Amino acid sequence: MSKCKSSTFVSVILLSDDLIYNKEQDILFSIQCGLMKNFYDYEIIILDHNNSSSSQYNQRWSSVLKEVEGVRIIQTVSHLDRELAYTIGIENSIGDSVVLFNPLRDPLGIIGDAININRSGVDVIVGVSESVSATMAYKLIRPFINKLLFKIGYEIPRNATGFYVLSRNSANSITLSHGKQHKLFLRIAQSGLNSESIIYECTHSIRKEKKSVLKSIPDTLNIMVFNSIKPLRLMAVIGAFASLFSLIFATYSVIQKFFNDQLVDGWASIAVLISFQFMVLFIILSFLSEYIGRMLDENNIGEQYAIVNELNSTVMVDENRINVLEESI
């Protein structure tokens, strides 16, 4: 064994959607070789959430499990959101450092560099790439989107790719801190953990994809509405101002009745009645918004999932090595 190997136990998490069909073994073998050169202990966790039949499932992964070391495949009961799937992988990982990796986007060499930074005391490493392209409309609207996301505590570096390295302490705190319907990357941003960016070049297949407004606006609304009660609080404030405006208009209508003899009969009464009704309606909506916000916070149990199967490699990482160190780290 090479003396330059690290004793850090590394968990690499990736999704089955990011593996080219019928080329899984080649991709995973290259990842395994890269990890084996740099680390004594590692695991490759694959989240398979495609609802494939048992025969298709076994056919796809049988050769991988026989040939590639350190692979764990976790099959969930339904197709999940990518960030929820990553959360499941983090919860089931055992490594000192946990890596969220996409082989279609991230170069293998970035793992070692990021883990060195992670083990130096930085809890969260975020991948950033200037090679990620975007449409002109996206570049124009992005600053406004950033301000909206900043209001709910979602601060990520510009051109973040989705490559993350988490320390074990940060992985534990992130998976326990919020309900699982909250976006993983949002929870990481709101955790208050010390973080650092690592800049790298994405692979060619990802560089072809462009970030667009059509995709970014729904994602932004989804993050804000389903991961924060601040939009609901904003609606409550707007309702309160609307009720105040209705009260002012009702007062104005009464004053006009006494000082303006040319008003049509009944106008002041109708204006006061309508304004009063809208004032009551807006006050009720404001209170309802507050109560709904509290209910969302208190009943934040998150989306449920079920693991239906878990398979492991039949080969050992190093069957001659005992995972006990002479000195504690």
The predicted-structure confidence for 54-108, as pLDDT tens digits, reads as follows: 666 667 788 888 888 889 998 887 777 788 889 889 999 999 999 999 998 899 9
Examine the domain organization and report whether 160 and 278 are in the same domain: no
Assigned domain for 165 exists? yes
Examine the domain organization and report whether 224 and 250 are in the same domain: no
Give the model's pLDDT for residue 110.
92
Assigned domain for 271 exists? yes
What does pTM read for this prediction? 0.70
Assigned domain for 94 exists? yes
Assigned domain for 56 exists? yes
Examine the domain organization and report whether 44 and 179 are in the same domain: yes
The CA angle 59-63-68, to the nearest 5 degrees, is: 140
Assigned domain for 321 exists? no
Examine the domain organization and report whether 111 and 222 are in the same domain: yes
Examine the domain organization and report whether 158 and 218 are in the same domain: yes
Examine the domain organization and report whether 154 and 285 are in the same domain: no
Assigned domain for 143 exists? yes
Diameter over CA atoms, the chain: 101
Examine the domain organization and report whether 237 and 208 are in the same domain: no
Give the model's pLDDT for residue 1.
41
Assigned domain for 320 exists? no
Give the model's pLDDT for residue 293.
65
Give the model's pLDDT for residue 230.
72
Dist CA 224 CA 299 (whole Å): 18
| Long-range contacts, stretch 319-326, CB < 8 angstroms, 24+ apart | 321/1, 321/40, 323/41, 325/7
E-state strands within 22-147? 42-48, 71-76, 97-100, 124-128, 133-134
- Full domain range(s) for residue 258: 230-298
Examine the domain organization and report whether 247 and 99 are in the same domain: no
Q: How many domains does the chain have?
A: 2
Residue with tokens 């959360």: 87
Q: The domain that contains 33 carries what CATH number?
A: 3.90.550.10
Give the model's pLDDT for residue 75.
85
Give the model's pLDDT for residue 290.
67
- Which residues of the chain register pLDDT less than 50? 1-2, 180, 207, 327-329
DSSP collapsed to 3 states, the chain: CCCCCECCCEEEEEEHHHCCCCCHHHHHHHHHHHHHHHECCEEEEEEECCCCCHHHHHHHHHHHHHHCCCEEEEEECCCCCHHHHHHHHHHCCCCCEEEECCCCCCCCHHHHHHHHHHHCCCCEEEEECCCCEECHHHHHHHHHHHHHHHHCCCCCCCCEEEEEEEEHHHHHHHHHHCCCCCCHHHHHHHCCCCEEEEECCCCHHHHCCEECHHHHHHHHHHHHHHHCCHHHHHHHHHHHHHHHHHHHHHHHHHHHHHHCCCCCCCHHHHHHHHHHHHHHHHHHHHHHHHHHHHHHHHCCCCCCCCEEEEEECCCCCCCCCCCCCCCCC
Examine the domain organization and report whether 220 and 265 are in the same domain: no
Give the model's pLDDT for residue 175.
79
Examine the domain organization and report whether 135 and 274 are in the same domain: no
Q: In what order do the strands lie in the sheet with 42-48?
A: 195-199, 124-128, 160-167, 97-100, 10-15, 42-48, 71-76, 307-312
Give the model's pLDDT for residue 2.
46
Assigned domain for 322 exists? no
Examine the domain organization and report whether 78 and 163 are in the same domain: yes
Examine the domain organization and report whether 141 and 224 are in the same domain: yes
